[in-house]
Each structure stands twice: as C-alpha cells, then as structure tokens.
A = this chain, B = another copy of it.
Amino acid sequence: MTPLNDETDHRPLTLRDVSEASGVSEMTVSRVLRNRGDVSDSTRQRVLETAKRLGYVPNKIAGALASQRVNLVAVIIPSMSNMVFPEVMTGISAVLDETPLQPVVGLTHYKPEREEAVLYEMLSWRPSGVIIAGLEHTDASRAMLRGAGIPIVEIMDTDGEPQDAVVGISHRRAGREMARAIIAQGYRRIGFLGTKMPLDHRARKRFEGFTEALAKEGIEVTDQEFYEGGSALKKGREMTETILTRSPNLDFLYYSNDMIGAGGLLYCLDQGIDVPGRIGLAAFNGVELLDGLPRQLATMDACRAEIGRKAAEIIARRALDAGGEPPPDRIVLTPTLSFGDTLRR
C-alpha cells in the first residue's frame, strides 16, 4: 500500500499525485472528483479510492481560476451580536444549503469605510453574488457593486434606490404604523429610547416615520434617551429609569430595539408600574428572546429569516441561472404588529 501523505513533506497533494498513484490522467481524476462527464465505473472507483487513501483535498483556488467560477456568496452585514443578523443568516443558509453556493460573511460594524474595505476584500475573491445590508453606501462602494458584474441584493430596507435587487421592509412605514397604533390606544405623552448610532439608517428611518405619524396628529415626542455599548438589556433598564425620572408624566415608551425594550419592561415590573395601564411599551424586531419574558412586549417583527431566504433565492436563481420564473428584483415584506401585553387595545 502506498504510504499516506508523508508527514515530513508538507507540500499539499495535487491532482497530479492522485493521477500518478491511480495511473489515470489528471483530467480523468478531475472529472471523477467533480462528477462531470462520462467516466467508467471501474476507473471512478479506483480514483475515488486513491484520492481518499492519499487524503487529497482539491485546491479550489486553482479550480476557481481555471473555471472562472467561485461558488461563494459575499454577505456583508453590520454585526452578529444583536439577534437580528444571525437570523438573516439562518434564512440565507437554509436556501444556499440546497445549492452549491456558500455564504461568506463580512462585518462592517455600521461603519461605511469598513463596509467599503470589506466589500473590496470580498470582491477580490470574485464571488458569485453579493448580499449586503442597507441601501446607503459610499460612492466607491456603489461603484464597486455596479462594476462587479454579479447579482447584488441589498437587504433589510426598501426606503431608497437599490443598485440592483432589494429585499426588505419599509422602516419608515414600520415607525409610522407603530405610532398610529399607539395614538389609537389613547397614549399621548410618548418617550423614545434608542441607540446613539447616526449610521444605523434603519433605526433612523423608523424614528422618522414614527415622529412623522405623530406630527400628523399634532403630537411630538415628549422626551428621548440614547445609549451606546454595554449590555442592551441593562441599558434598557437604566435608560427607562432615567427617562421616567426626568419625565414622570410619560404614558408610553417606544424602544428602537427589543433588547432595550425587554430591559425597560423588566424595570417597570420591578418597580410595580402598571403596564400597559399607567404606561405602555413597544419595541421593534420580534426577537425570540421576548417569548421568555414575564409579559409579552409589543413589537413589530422585521421578517429577518424571510429576508435572508428571499435574498438567497434571488442570488441562487441568477447565479446558477436555474430555470423557472426569475424572482422579482424588489421584494417588500410587511411586518406584523404584535400588541403583546404592553400596548393596551
């Protein structure tokens, strides 16, 4: 039996090694390993056995260069630490797992210049498609996206002009609808609690839609409070205490995300504040975590997994030019408002 890859020799095995060890041409070995073209059963067996015995791992770099095909999909998102993007990833993976395509993630931390760098880096690997969060990008990023010549799907947000395809929800509308629901229930002195992130365009648009709908009813946000860093749950508690101390007459608190909303809810329960009688609460995202809280927080789901799925489908269809109806280039999902136990009705 031919010895296994010699431990002292650290040159990785090549197709040629398998070819020589099995007495078959490199080309045929390549065909076997990719299940391409006709190969007799006997040679196929021999090649597979040899490749396995030697521990051959194909070199995708060479393969990609020769075939001009890279089965990678660049996924560019702000962060993995809040619960929203992991769920988007789940949706993307669920779809791509059925294809030869593979997601590769790059993180921007909500910084446009980092997004630009990450995009450049990923495009230099010549992926089959790009899924990127948001519609706001630097000029250079937009130029790269346009020039890449591959399918691009911008996700999460539909309030703006996409470069190519887009899948998401309207955050302005989400903010407006929440405001309307709050007003309809008779709340009038409304506080807003959010993150200090001027570059989180989705949160900004929700807030804009929110204030816009309030303004239509002649109402203004009574007080606001912002945070950055740290445990969002804890910050939610602290901010709630701060804002209620400063503006004790507030009768509603709208949080820009569920985690701080959950903190606020726990704080109110601790303090024995009557929710939603004395004060109502609502947030945004619809994260699973909320299920475990003592009360259900009012929220609006962001359709995260669905966005991931749809985006991946667009990439898959276009990159693999699978037959059938091509998916539309613009998919606007509709978030549902859950009243939970913290928004009376």
Contact = CB atoms under 8 A, between A and B. Distances in A.
Interface residues of A, number: 56
Contacts of A148: 12, 57
Contacts of A235: 292
Q: Which of A4, A126, A147, A237 has the most CB of B within 10 A?
A: A147
A55 B139 CA distance: 12
Q: Which of A81, A93, A236 has the most CB of B within 10 A?
A: A81
Contacts of A149: 10-12
B65 A147 contact: no
A92 to B, nearest CB: 12
B60 A293 contact: no
A146 B237 CA distance: 50
B237 A266 contact: no
Contacts of A294: 266, 270
Copies of this subunit:
2
A149 B231 CA distance: 41
A144 B90 CA distance: 27
Given A263-B292, A292-B237, A294-B270, A125 B60 contact: yes
A231 B144 CA distance: 40
Contact of A61 (B70, B86, B234): B70
A262 B59 CA distance: 46
A38 interface: no
A86 B5 CA distance: 35
B292 A233 contact: yes
A58 interface: yes
Contact of A55 (B61, B90, B147): B147
A296 to B, nearest CB: 11
Interface stretch (A116-124, A159-167, A170-178, A187-195): A116-124
Contact of A231 (B12, B90, B292): B292
A319 interface: no
**5 shortest interchain CB distances as A-B pairs:** A233-B292, A10-B149, A234-B292, A231-B291, A60-B124
A288 interface: yes
Contacts of A1: none
Nearest to A146: B7
